[in-house]
């Protein structure tokens, strides 16, 4: 028996149901990663007025996104983890107030610039690099001052169990 002639139908063996489900799960995982990696981003710089410094890593801003187009949004400062105002222990609350106050001093009254603006994973806010009016990177300045830790999406470390700063 020779090889099949060109153009003759070929037999396709379907995957067993269990195997098909495994492939579907793998494909879904790969596509989910693709969709997440393709989130829209605005490279900036986007000028913004800081309306409030909520804590060391969250700001409320009024950003000018186009001529005559202004939006107010919460910005999660990219690249750092600062103690939270809704603290789990008194020491974290103390650190959070110090980080917030230092961020207020660094920002002052001048507009900031937002760079690499992306939707935040929790929704209702964005995350971005923030440059002060003087050009300082807010994240780097808070980390250098010992008021925050570098953060790039990994599991956050607690501030109350003795591994926090201060």
Domain locations in the chain? 46-150
Question: Per residue in 91-130, pLDDT tens?
Answer: 999 999 999 999 999 999 999 999 999 998 878 899 999 9
- Which pLDDT band holds residue 13 (cuts at 50, 70, 90)? very low
Using alpha carbons, select from 165, 17, 37, 2 the residue that is nearest to residue 98: 165
- Which pLDDT band holds residue 23 (cuts at 50, 70, 90)? very low
Mean pLDDT of 153-159: 82
Q: What's the CA gap between 23 and 42, in Å, rounded?
A: 35
Q: Indicate the range of 11-15, 112-116, 141-145, 150-154 predicted with least confidence.
A: 11-15
137 DSSP assignment: B
Mean pLDDT of 50-55: 95
pLDDT at 48 over 90: yes
- Which pLDDT band holds residue 38 (cuts at 50, 70, 90)? low
Q: What's the CA gap between 71 and 102, in Å, rounded?
A: 25
70 DSSP assignment: E
Q: Which fold has domain 46-150?
A: OB fold (Dihydrolipoamide Acetyltransferase, E2P) (2.40.50)
């Amino acid at each position: 028996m020779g090889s099949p002639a060109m153009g003759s139908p070929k037999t396709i063996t379907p995957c067993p149901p269990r195997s098909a489900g495994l492939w579907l799960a793998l494909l879904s995982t790969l596509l989910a990663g693709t969709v997440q990696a393709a989130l829209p981003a605005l490279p900036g710089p986007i000028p913004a007025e800081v309306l409030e410094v909520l804590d060391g890593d969250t700001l409320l801003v009024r950003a000018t996104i186009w001529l005559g187009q202004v939006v107010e949004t919460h910005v999660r400062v990219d690249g750092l983890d600062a103690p939270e105002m809704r603290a789990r222990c008194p020491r974290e609350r103390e650190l959070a107030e110090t980080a917030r106050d230092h961020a207020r001093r660094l920002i002052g009254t001048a507009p900031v610039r937002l760079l690499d603006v992306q939707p935040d994973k929790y929704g209702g806010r964005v995350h971005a690099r923030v440059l002060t009016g003087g050009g300082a990177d807010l994240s780097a300045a808070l980390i250098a001052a010992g008021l925050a830790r570098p953060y790039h999406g990994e599991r956050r470390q607690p501030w109350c169990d003795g591994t926090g700063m201060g």
